[in-house]
Amino acid sequence: MTWSWLAVVPITLAPLAAINLLSRREPAGRLVALAIPILFGLWLLWIWEVVVVGFDVPRILLPAPSQIGHQLVAQAGMLWADFQQTFLKSVLAGFAMGCGLGFLVALLTDRVAFLQRGLLPLGNMAGAVPVVGIAPIMVMWFGFGWESKAAVIVVMTFFPMLINTIAGLAAADRMQRDLMYSYGAGYWQTFFKLRLPAALTFVFNALKINSTLALIGAIVAEMFGSPISGMGFRISTEVYKMNVDIVWATIAVAAVAGSMFYGLLALLERALTFWHPSYRAEARNR
C-alpha cells in the first residue's frame, strides 16, 4: 500500500506544476488559457478517482470517475434518448419562447410607461417563485410531454430577459439620445442605431443566465411527470434503483450540454459586441 501511494504522489503533483508553469506565462495565448482549465479538470478527476479507490468508498455513496465513464459508454443509447427529450425538445423550445417573449414584452414596456411600474415588481416577485412550485401545475395543465417542461422554462426565463432588456434599453445616456434627436433620428432609428447596441450586453447576460435556468427547470419538471425518457426522469428513477453511477453519468451529460450551450452564447456575444470597451481592455492586457 505504501509503494502504491508513493507512485500516486508524483502523478498528482505533476499536473499542478504544469498548471503553475502555464499560469506564469505572459502573455498567455488562447491555447494556454484553454489548456489550464482542462488540466485542472483532469487533475480533479484524478484526485476523485484516487480518493474513491484508495479509501474504498462505497459506490452507492460516490462512484469513481472510471465507473461513471463506463456507464457513459454502456448506456450511451439511453442517455442520448434522455438528452433528446430534455435538451433538444424541452430546453431549446422553452428557452426560445421564454427569451423571445420577454424581449418583445420589454420593447412594448419601453413604449408604454405604466407597464414598467406594473411588470417590473411582478418580475422581481416571480424570480422568487421556486420551480418545484410551478412544475406540478404545468404538468397538470399541459400533460406529461415536453410541452409542460417548456412551459416551466418559459415562466423561468421570461422575467430575467424582460428585466435585463429594459435595463439595457435605458443604458444609453441622455446626451447620446439628445445627439440622435439633433440629427433628426426618429424612435426606431435611435432604437436600432443606439439603444439596441447598448442593450446587447444586457440581453446576452439574460441569455446566459437563462441557459442555466432552462436546463435546471426542465430536469426538475421531469421529476414531477415525464414519459419514460428524460434527464430528470432518469435521475429520479435510477436513484430509487440505487444505480448512482448512472445518475452521475446523467449529471455529466447535463453539465456538458449546459456548458456548451453557455459557451455558444458567449461566442455569439463576443462576435456581436466586439466593440464593447471590456473586450478592448482585454485585448490590450494580452
Domain coordinates in residue numbering, the chain: 2-57, 70-285
User: pLDDT for 247-273, tens place per residue?
Assistant: 999 999 999 999 999 999 999 998 888
pLDDT at 137: 84
Q: What is the reported pLDDT for 9? A: 62
The whole-number average pLDDT for the span 157-163 is 90
pLDDT greater at residue 200 or residue 37: 200
Kindly tell me if the per-residue pLDDT of 130 is higher than 90. no
- State the burial class of residue 254 (Cβ atoms within 10 Å of its Cβ: 0-12, 13-18, 19+): buried
Instruction: Measure Cα distances from 173 to 53, 77, 195 in Å.
Output: 59, 53, 9
What pLDDT is attached to residue 49? 85
Assess contact for 141 and 225: CB atoms under 8 A.
Answer: no
C-alpha cell at 240: 430509487
Q: Note the pLDDT tens digit of each residue in 83-106.
A: 999 999 999 999 999 999 999 998
Whether the CB-CB separation of 63 and 57 falls below 8 Å is answered with no
Q: For 69-88, how does the pLDDT look when each residue is reduced to its tens digit (9 = 90+)?
A: 999 999 999 999 999 999 99
Residue % of the chain over a pLDDT of 90: 29
Range among 30-44, 61-75, 219-233 rated most confident? 61-75
- In terms of CATH, what superfamily is 70-285? MetI-like (1.10.3720.10)
Q: Ramachandran region of residue 276, left (φ > 0), alpha (ψ -120 to 50) or beta?
A: beta
Q: Say whether 71 sits in a helix, a strand or coil.
A: helix
Q: What is the pTM of this model?
A: 0.82
| 282 has pLDDT over 60 | no
Query: Above 60 in pLDDT, residue 283?
Result: no
Predicted pLDDT at 29: 61
Residue 171 grid coordinates? 443604458
What average pLDDT does range 38-66 have in this prediction?
Answer: 84
- pLDDT at residue 3 in the model: 45
d(CA 198, CA 162): 15
- How confident is the prediction for the chain on average, in pLDDT? 81
Mean pLDDT over residues 153-162, rounded? 90
pLDDT at site 144: 79
